[in-house]
Structure 1
């Protein structure tokens, strides 16, 4: 009797992120992947235009080629206020 045992890890074919509330699996912001792979390393930009200054939760999840989604992974981040443009400052000596 010949028995062959092997483990084939499913490849990741899609990834997405959301901040705060979960819009539903497959409905979050897409993270572009170059091609399906067993492991992926990606850099992506967050859309933060509507977020207030302060702490927020970022969630990332991936889908496998078999259509199953993995669990969401959470990371806490702080969104700092935008720097204020003071323009050109003309400093004059003031007497107090």
Structure 2
């Protein structure tokens, strides 16, 4: 595993699998010499993990004792491959919207042959999805019958544009911390004019946020009154 993290000075790392044991209770790794930025490679044991899906968590601690947010990476432990055996090839793929129907119950996607890996582009029909926010999910199965983790992407279904029309321009942007106050109730950010696309750097005050972990969320609204993710 290779990772890059920043802090005042990185003193140590800790990692754990699946469940967070609490700050300082993971498996400790001493950081190499650094001035707040460090790239390091580790070999982490998985000896006691059962076959199946797991998650690896990783976080760092600086020289003042403050821990970073953790990074989480899912992975799968399979039965040991014997002799000249290789990883089973792909045999099927499926997709679904919003709610997981269960492995094998999604809508099938074509895979040519049984390749060891596939790079495919699919045109997925939206069917009768209602206007609003949705997610599309895709997963694959190998020739041993084992399904992989699924990949999820959110998207928004809008009303059809009139013939020859274009997407409405951006009218406003808002942000909020931690809890969503509802569309239009966040703190406004300045948008110059009504651009069709925007690349902007904002300075956002933290106000009276308490010490600890927080989330910052940003969304935009177009001139038709529709809010983004």
TM-score of the two chains, using structure 2 as the length reference: 0.33
Q: 2:124 aligns with which of 31, 36, 46?
A: 46
CA–CA distance in 2 between the matches of 1:5 and 1:49?
A: 47
Measure how far apart 1:18 and its partner are. 0.5
Aligned to 2:152: 74
Aligned position for 1:90 = none
Q: TM-score, structure 1 length as denominator?
A: 0.74
Q: How far apart are 1:43 and its partner, in Å?
A: 1.5
- 2:135 maps to 57
Map of 2:88 onto structure 1: 10
Structure 1 position 6, deviation (Å): 5.2
Moved more, 31-40 or 6-15: 6-15
Unaligned 5+ runs, structure 1: 87-96
Kindly provide the CA deviation profile for residues 22-76 of structure 1, in whole angstroms up to 9, marking residues without a partner as x.
1121111111011111111111122212112232111100000000101111111
Gaps (5+ residues) in structure 2? 1-81, 165-229
Greater fraction of residues in strand: 2
